[in-house]
């Protein structure tokens, strides 16, 4: 009898055997299976109109059962993926020795257990206790001065994408900070665009997937771009033109909770399914701009697909005219980023999905919704 | 109470109290703390049973490890899926709970499940071939399979009884030796299966140690019961012992078939059932061998066939509806102990007969019988794999 469990039995054989086994019984089993399928809701993900069949309980009514169970305690985490979307850290502007404007920031590395999906706790390393770290936002040409303190248990650094000197690179030998130590990174904010920063201490994979990364946005200086001044002004935080836009930062990330170099949780801004459980509210009358950054570790690429709409894309955000027009999917390698612009002006109000177009990532947490509101003209 | 008794009581109580005191002191001082440090908790989750029906997938999970476990999320085929846990909340060491997952499983396909705990550990479970779990409506069908696997072949084997009688003394010795051979195979087979199941059980239950202990206990106990009237066992008593040992083995075979139904390895189908059936024909010969020189009344044969074969029915029912690796392992361990007892008794009978006839007990026909017994069992076991 050990052969039953001990031997690899081919699937074909299993199926053949199952079919041969007492006709009535096999038929009944098959019917049972068919019944399960008929009742199964998972073929579509009905949001507004679809109703799951009564056979399966209401617990999974909104997403066909494909959903995490429970809620993340954002108070305990100390950050909320919804407030992260628009939480710009503009630092403090002072005048430096030469009288130029200088933007000062303080960032601390902190070890912290973060709830990345309901009930799943990840022993993270963070910048300022949150993942992603603060969205550092400056203006093209400004001096940027970041005081980095390492309150964590391992050496860390801040490596900024952008143009800077070798001494300010935030790599081992140039800006690596031991626990308890401090380093001041100083450089000019350029080029304008949507960048990122992350820890560059080795082992690199571990330091990044533990949570040490964030978005670094450099707004264009309209005075330097007379040919596209209006566009530049719309990007510059605080201008009346900019206030017309609904801007969000979205950092695509993932977590390997059991350290097997495969991710168990995928998300935008850390918490699985955060924006599908509580959709992002959009005013259909105003255009949308997304600063999208991919820092997904272990998977070569990540993507964003927008439902029912198309967008213009600015690769790295370093141009004022789109590098891709009218697309509905953008694919980014790890470290790649860009700006998406689109509008729901001509759409009816409702829930509009956006998600990675790798179905694996979707079902492991990277699935989101816009809740488009406003009167239909 | 006499002084003597008081001294005795004190002599027993004092060391006991000291043991308790030392244990408390050890726990309080926790000298191992510096070695374990802030080591993450060790979690263990074992899936003991799975049920597939119109409501989706049900899993009976058992926690075994040094730390209580909270199952935070469930992935099915790489997707987070809603689920309900009964009872809900944190699961203490060795406690169990049902997870009900409304997942639209697909007939005949493989499904991978991962249970993600609070700390992000993933415990994986595979549904090899998804088929609906038999429900109570199929008790009858399963019972028929049990009769076919258990009672029918044993009865067929018993039909060799007249041939054994005709064969005379040498045939008798030969068939006893044959019985030893086939029982030897069953012993190894049963133990191996028990140990495999024990390895699948929750680690906290120490299944492998239990298997050996229970097998040894069953052996000693059955030996004592068999010889409680003194002297050696022979004839009908021995046949009954053999039937009991084989019955316990067939209980294990039934569990295997039943749990294969329950776990969807429905393969079992025809090949498995036929293999077991052929395999069990030899058992009938073994049971009647000791009766050659003292023929019983015919109802005795029916009783023996039932004793050896009916447990297969019980096994199939239990296996399909209430399968847990540790219970199955224990049942098989008892079977192994019983089979060993029978081997000892049959060997004793064989040696006594050789002594009375003045022939060496390791005669050519005896050795040939043992080898043939093992070979036939091995050969028919190959059929189960086919
Ligand atoms: Cu680091």
pLDDT of residue A217: 98
Measured CA to CA in angstroms, residue A118 lies from A145, A245, A277, B174 at distances of: 37, 32, 11, 68
CB B65: neighbour CB atoms within 10 A?
Answer: 17
- Least trusted range by pLDDT, from A58-62, A65-69, B58-62: A58-62
Does A1 score more than 80 pLDDT? no
Q: Provide the b/e sequence for A34-70 (b: ≥16 CB within 10 Å).
A: ebbeebbbbeebebeeeebeeebeeebbbbbbbbbbe
B81 touches chain A (CB under 8 A): yes
Considering only the beta carbons, identify the residue of B83, B132, B276 that sits closest to A29: B132
Residue numbers in A near B257 (CB within 8 A): 4
Give the integer Cα–Cα distance in Å for A244 and A346.
17
CB B66: neighbour CB atoms within 10 A?
Answer: 12
For the whole prediction, is pTM greater than 0.90?
no
pLDDT of residue A289: 98
Give the integer Cα–Cα distance in Å for A353 and A350.
10
Percent of chain A topping pLDDT 70: 83
**Touching B: A residues 237-256, CB under 8 Å:** 255
A369 backbone dihedrals φ, ψ, rounded to 5°:
-135, 145
Residue B272's pLDDT band (cuts 50, 70, 90): low
Task: Output the CA A178–ligand 1 centroid distance in Å.
Answer: 10
Residue B1's pLDDT band (cuts 50, 70, 90): low
3-state percent helix, strand, coil for chain A, nearest multiple of 5: 20, 35, 45
Do B145 and A22 make contact, defined as CB atoms within 8 angstroms?
yes
Give the integer Cα–Cα distance in Å for B257 and B254.
5
Tell me which of A5 and A99 has the higher pLDDT. A99
Could you tell me if B48 and B60 are in contact, meaning their C-beta atoms sit under 8 angstroms apart? Answer: yes
Mean per-residue pLDDT, A113-134 = 96
Mean per-residue pLDDT, A307-335 = 97
Mean per-residue pLDDT, B138-150 = 84
A270 touches chain B (CB under 8 A): no
pLDDT of residue B264: 60
Do A255 and B272 make contact, defined as CB atoms within 8 angstroms?
no
- Least trusted range by pLDDT, from A294-303, B56-65, B76-85, B351-360: B351-360
Q: Which residues contact B378 (CB under 8 A, 6 or more apart)?
A: B185
pLDDT digits (tens, 9 = 90+) for B285-336: 888 888 877 788 888 889 999 999 999 898 888 877 766 778 878 878 888 8
Mean per-residue pLDDT, B155-165 = 84
Q: How far is B22 from chain A (nearest CA, A)?
A: 37
B293 touches chain A (CB under 8 A): no
Task: Output the CA A154–ligand 1 centroid distance in Å.
Answer: 7
pLDDT digits (tens, 9 = 90+) for A2-31: 333 333 333 333 333 333 333 333 333 333
Do A42 and B270 make contact, defined as CB atoms within 8 angstroms?
no
Per DSSP bridges, beta strands B84-86 and B96-101 are antiparallel
Do A42 and B104 make contact, defined as CB atoms within 8 angstroms?
yes
pLDDT digits (tens, 9 = 90+) for A234-250: 999 999 999 999 999 99
Torsion, Cα of A90, A95, A98, A101 (10° steps): 30
Do A66 and B104 make contact, defined as CB atoms within 8 angstroms?
no
Q: Which residues contact B257 (CB under 8 A, 6 or more apart)?
A: A4, B145, B146, B149, B268, B272, B273, B276, B312, B315, B316, B319
Q: Provide the b/e sequence for B67-85 (b: ≥16 CB within 10 Å).
A: bebbbbbbbbbebbbbbeb
- Average pLDDT of every residue of chain A: 85
Displacement of CA B343 from its chain's centroid (Å): 18
Give the integer Cα–Cα distance in Å for B289 and B355.
19
Residue A350 tokens, joined: 């409702």
Burial class of residue B295 in the structure, from the number of CB atoms within 10 Å of its CB (0-12 exposed, 13-18 middle, 19+ buried): middle
Tell me which of B353 and A122 has the higher pLDDT. A122
pLDDT digits (tens, 9 = 90+) for A214-238: 999 999 999 999 999 999 999 999 9
Residue B239 tokens, joined: 């046949």
Give the integer Cα–Cα distance in Å for A48 and B227.
76
- Least trusted range by pLDDT, from A268-282, A328-342, B359-373: B359-373
Residue numbers in B near A7 (CB within 8 A): 385
How many Cα atoms occupy the beta-carbon half-sphere of A268 within 13 Å?
30
Give the integer Cα–Cα distance in Å for B228 and B113.
52
């Amino acid at each position: 009898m050990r052969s039953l469990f001990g031997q690899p039995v081919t699937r074909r054989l299993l199926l053949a055997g199952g079919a041969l086994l007492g006709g009535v019984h096999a038929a009944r089993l098959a019917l049972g299976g068919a019944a399960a399928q008929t009742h199964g809701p998972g073929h579509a993900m009905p949001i507004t109109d679809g109703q799951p069949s009564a056979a399966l309980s209401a617990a999974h009514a909104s997403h066909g059962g494909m959903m995490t169970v429970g809620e993340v305690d954002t108070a305990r985490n100390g950050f909320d993926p919804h407030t992260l979307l628009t939480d710009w850290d503009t630092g403090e502007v002072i005048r430096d020795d030469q009288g130029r404007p200088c933007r000062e920031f303080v960032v601390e590395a902190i070890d912290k257990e973060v709830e990345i999906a309901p009930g799943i706790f990840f022993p993270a390393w963070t910048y300022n206790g949150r993942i992603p770290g603060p969205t550092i936002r400056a203006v093209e040409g400004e001096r940027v001065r970041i005081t980095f303190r390492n309150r964590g248990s391992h050496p860390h650094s801040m490596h900024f994408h952008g143009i800077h000197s070798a001494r300010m690179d935030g790599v081992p030998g140039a800006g690596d900070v031991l626990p308890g130590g401090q380093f001041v990174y100083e450089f000019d904010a350029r080029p304008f665009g949507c960048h990122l920063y992350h820890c560059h201490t080795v082992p690199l994979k571990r330091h990044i997937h533990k949570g040490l990364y964030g978005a670094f946005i450099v707004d264009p200086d309209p005075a330097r771009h007379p040919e596209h001044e209006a566009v530049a002004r719309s990007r510059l935080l605080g201008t009346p033109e900019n206030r017309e836009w609904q801007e969000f930062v979205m950092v695509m990330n993932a977590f390997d909770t059991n350290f097997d170099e495969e991710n168990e949780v995928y998300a935008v801004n850390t918490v699985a399914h955060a924006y599908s459980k509580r959709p992002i509210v959009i005013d259909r009358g105003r255009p949308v701009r997304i600063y999208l950054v991919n820092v997904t570790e272990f998977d070569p690429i990540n993507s964003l697909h927008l439902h029912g709409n198309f967008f213009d894309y600015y690769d790295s955000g370093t141009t004022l005219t789109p590098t891709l027009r009218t697309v509905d999917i953008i694919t980014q390698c790890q470290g790649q980023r860009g700006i998406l612009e689109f509008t729901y002006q001509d759409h009816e109000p409702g829930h509009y999905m956006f998600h990675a177009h790798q179905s694996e990532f979707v079902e492991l947490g990277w699935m989101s919704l816009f809740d488009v509101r406003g009167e239909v003209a | 109470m006499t002084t003597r008794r008081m001294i005795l009581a004190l002599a027993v109580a004092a060391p006991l109290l000291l043991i308790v005191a030392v244990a408390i002191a050890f726990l309080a001082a926790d000298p191992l703390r510096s070695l374990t440090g802030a080591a993450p908790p060790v979690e263990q989750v074992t899936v003991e049973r799975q049920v597939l029906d119109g409501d989706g997938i049900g899993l009976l999970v058992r926690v075994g490890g040094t730390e209580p476990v909270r199952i935070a999320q469930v992935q099915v085929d790489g997707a987070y899926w809603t689920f309900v846990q009964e009872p809900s909340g944190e699961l203490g060491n060795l406690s169990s709970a049902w997870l009900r997952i409304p997942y639209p499983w697909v007939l005949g396909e493989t499904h991978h499940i991962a249970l993600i705990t609070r700390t992000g550990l993933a415990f994986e479970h595979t549904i090899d071939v998804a088929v609906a779990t038999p429900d109570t409506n199929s008790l009858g069908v399963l019972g028929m399979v049990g009769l076919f696997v258990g009672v029918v072949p044993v009865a067929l084997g018993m039909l060799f009884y007249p041939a054994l009688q005709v064969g005379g003394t040498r045939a008798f010795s030969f068939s006893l030796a044959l019985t030893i051979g086939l029982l030897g195979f069953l012993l190894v087979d049963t133990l191996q299966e028990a140990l495999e199941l024990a390895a699948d059980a929750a680690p906290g239950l120490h299944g492998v140690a239990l298997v050996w202990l229970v097998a040894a206990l069953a052996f000693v106990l059955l030996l004592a019961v068999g010889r409680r009237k003194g002297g050696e066992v022979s004839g009908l008593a021995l046949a009954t012992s053999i039937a009991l040992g084989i019955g316990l083995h067939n209980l294990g075979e039934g569990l295997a078939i039943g749990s294969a139904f329950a776990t969807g390895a429905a393969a079992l189908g025809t090949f498995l059932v036929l293999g077991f059936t052929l395999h069990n024909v030899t058992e009938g010969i073994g049971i009647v061998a000791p009766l050659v020189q003292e023929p019983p009344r015919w109802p005795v044969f029916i009783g023996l066939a039932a004793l050896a074969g009916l447990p297969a029915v019980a096994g199939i029912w239990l296996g399909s509806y209430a399968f847990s690796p540790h219970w199955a392992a224990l049942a098989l361990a008892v079977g192994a102990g019983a089979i060993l007892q029978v081997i000892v008794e049959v060997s004793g009978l064989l040696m006594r007969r050789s002594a009375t006839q003045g022939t060496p007990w390791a005669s050519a026909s005896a050795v040939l019988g043992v080898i043939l017994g093992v070979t036939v069992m091995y050969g028919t076991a190959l059929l189960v794999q086919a």
